[in-house]
Copies of this chain bind each other. A is one copy, B any other.
Amino acid sequence: MARASTTTDVFNAVAEPRRRQILDLLAGGERSVTELIRVLGLAQPQVSKHLRVLREVGAVEVREDGRRRLYRLNGPALKPIHDWVKDYEAMWSDRFEALDAVLDELQSPQGHKEEDDGHDEER
């Protein structure tokens, strides 16, 4: 088997930095392909191809306006990524690092093997 298709899911689609850039631009509002071409400095076919991938995974939507196509972001399509990564957020937050230090401190004096995890956080 080969690598999963870029259109398999939003994780694969967004692995390409140009496509993340396109989403970031669309976060500022609807844009035509020509506008994206200008801002990105890419060739037209490449932009259309990136947009196709993003459309196939539901990350963008199109609207026709004469000969132009206006693309807009569909934010909720990115939720699976956020849902996955948010559980790791605690691992680099200052608060967690402080807590981590405290736990290490408590654990070292006596070999009290707690091995807990189930770290949950509020927001």
Interface size on A, residues (CB 8 A): 35
- Residue A27, interface by CB 8 Å: yes
**Shortest distance between the CB of A74 and any CB in chain B (Å):** 7
Interface of A is mostly: helix
- Flag if B16 contacts A4 (CB, 8 Å): yes
Give every chain B residue within 8 A of A82 (Cβ-Cβ). 82, 85-86, 88-89
Nearest 6 A/B pairs, CB to CB: A75-B91, A76-B92, A15-B15, A12-B15, A82-B85, A11-B15
Residues on A lying within 8 angstroms of B by beta carbon are 3-4, 6, 11-12, 14-17, 20, 23, 27-29, 61, 73-76, 78-79, 81-82, 84-92, 115, 117, 120
